[in-house]
Amino acid sequence: MQAIMSGISKALDGFVVALLVVMSLLVIVNVALRFLFNSSIVMSEEVSRFIFVWVVYVGSIIAMRDDDHIYVDFIRKKMPKGVQKFLIVFVNLVMLVCCLLFLKGSIELTSINMSDHSPVAGVPMGYVYAAGAVGSAGMAIVIVLRLIGFFTRGFDQALKGKVAG
């Protein structure tokens, strides 16, 4: 199981790096073409915007995995350990519900927009909106694994301020 999760984790990292490279190349080449030849790649701006959307959502999975999202825990740390454990589980369950609601909405939005195409590149907009579904599903999986880790390995890391399981 750990090997599978490690492989998925590396694949996510590689995917984001590849997207950033493609997006950067599109923008740099387009700027150079405009500056040097007074011309440009027509769909470069639109495609780089779509890639950026995917980078944000896949990056949010990576940030959730690495516990890099910002959270405020100074009040929780002042409470008794039992209350802290309850709050950790409660907050993670609320985040899970939010991710599942976002997933539901993203799936609906993706299916509605599959017949709508972007004006320049002609890409079905459903592919762009699918990034929300992928991001919310990935974060939900991370939260479920975190909750399982809390109950199987204990809350020690979470009580020290490290929430990732």
Domain ranges (residues) in the chain: 2-159
- As given in the structure block, the two tokens for residue 56 are 């944000």
Question: How far is the C-alpha of 27 from the C-alpha of 45, rounded, in Å?
Answer: 7
- As given in the structure block, the two tokens for residue 148 are 């399982």
Asked if 79 and 87 count as a contact pair (C-beta separation under 8 A), the reply is yes
Q: What is the mean pLDDT of the chain?
A: 90
Closest CA relative to residue 128, chosen from 72, 119, 42, 92: 119
- As given in the structure block, the two tokens for residue 89 are 């589980």
Asked if 155 and 60 count as a contact pair (C-beta separation under 8 A), the reply is no
Long-range pairs of 155-159 with CB within 8 A, sequence gap ≥ 24: 155/84, 155/85, 155/88, 158/84, 158/85, 158/88, 159/81, 159/84, 159/85, 159/88
The pLDDT score that the predictor gives to residue 165 is 44
CA max distance for the chain: 67
Task: Give yes or no for residue 101 having a pLDDT over 60.
Answer: yes
What is the percent of the chain with per-residue pLDDT over 70, rounded to a whole number? 94
Q: What DSSP designation does 111 have?
A: H
Asked if 158 and 76 count as a contact pair (C-beta separation under 8 A), the reply is no
Task: Give yes or no for residue 1 having a pLDDT over 50.
Answer: yes
16-62 per-position pLDDT tens digit? 999 999 999 999 999 999 999 988 888 999 999 999 999 999 999 99
Question: How far is the C-alpha of 84 from the C-alpha of 94, rounded, in Å?
Answer: 15
